[in-house]
Structure 1
Amino acid sequence: MYRTTIEDAVFPNCPIRNILARLCDKWSLLVIYTLDKAGKEAVRFKELQREIPDISQKMLTVTLRTLEDDGYVTRTVYPEVPPRVEYALTARAYTLLPHVNALIAWALENRDAIMEDRRKACKK
């Protein structure tokens, strides 16, 4: 999938579908949350990978590129040997964080009830 061109076939100008398609994949919000946990400091690729151990190197790379393309993450390359690359959240990402944190709080508050409903649904 070429991640920089997501457009809804039926509603190509719908901003909510377009933005949610990019942000609500398996990894994007988790990467943003992980970068936020680091505070205002930039984070190196391997540090991110350690913090999210079940993400593959390729998927982390694709996710970071997508977040950078959409203006949520900055990527800084330092001309050293070996090259050092750091990632940090942008001002746009910081405006998104209250909504992400509210979603996390909601999920924590409702997790047990949701899991119970899932168990009941499996027994049907």
Structure 2
Amino acid sequence: MSQRNIDVTGDGLTVDQAVIEACPIMEVLDQVSGKWSVSILIAAAHGPVRFTELERGIDGISRRMLTLTLRRLERDGLLTRKVYPTVPPKTEYTATSVARELFAPLSALRDWAERHQMTIASARHEYDHRAAETGS
């Protein structure tokens, strides 16, 4: 068992439980900021989006990971799912009002990341180079 799972608070809570209890935002941010969640939420904010559109539009996501992420976002109340009784079945996902409220901050974060991607890559390269020279 890792140290994080040991009761260190003295009141029966593990460190993980204490952090969640002390700061509920961490749990929400963990869900919303997942590797694939941001792309899905931004795509769904523009209106209903089909499963196949998401699968084709999100580079590198597997069908299974897309399914799991969509289920989690639906469970969290950020997406609604509508299945049309067609052959093959057509499934659409729509952002809820709560998720649409997230669109501006997520878009700003995405834009920031795009603007600073090269700066961060350069800083990493310099850091790795210095670390290799010093052996640390």
Q: Same fold (TM over 0.5)?
A: yes
Of 11, 21, 26, the match for 1:17: 26
The one-letter code of the counterpart of 1:118 is R
The one-letter code of the counterpart of 1:113 is T
Runs of 4+ in 1 over 3 A off after TM superposition: none
Name the structure 1 match of 2:83.
77
Of 118, 123, 131, the match for 1:117: 123
Number of aligned positions between the proteins: 114
More helix as a share of residues = 2
Distance in 1 between the 2:52 and 2:113 partners?
28
Alpha-carbon displacement from aligned partner over 1:16-50 (angstroms, at most 9, x marks no partner): 111011112211111112223xx22x121111100
Higher relative contact order (CA 8 A, sep 6+): 1
Unaligned runs of 5+ in 2: 1-15, 131-136
Decide whether aligned partners of structure 1 residues 9 and 79 sit closer, same or farther in structure 2, where only a CA change above 3 A counts: same
Matching of residue 47 in structure 1 with residue 56 in structure 2: no
Which deviates further from its counterpart, 10-19 or 71-80?
10-19
Alpha-carbon displacement from aligned partner over 1:76-103 (angstroms, at most 9, x marks no partner): 0112222221111111111001101111
Name the structure 1 match of 2:6.
none
Distance in 1 between the 2:38 and 2:49 partners?
16
Decide whether aligned partners of structure 1 residues 117 and 53 sit closer, same or farther in structure 2, where only a CA change above 3 A counts: closer
Of 74, 86, 90, the match for 2:92: 86
Name the structure 1 match of 2:101.
95
Matching of residue 34 in structure 1 with residue 40 in structure 2: no
Question: Per-residue deviation at 1:53?
Answer: 3.3
Unaligned runs of 5+ in 1: 1-7
Question: Per-residue deviation at 1:72?
Answer: 1.0
Answer with 1 or 2: which has the greater Rg: 2
Q: Is the CA contact 2:43–2:49 (under 8 Å) kept in the aligned structure 1?
A: no
RMSD over aligned CA atoms reads 1.4
Identity between Structure 1 and Structure 2 (%) = 40
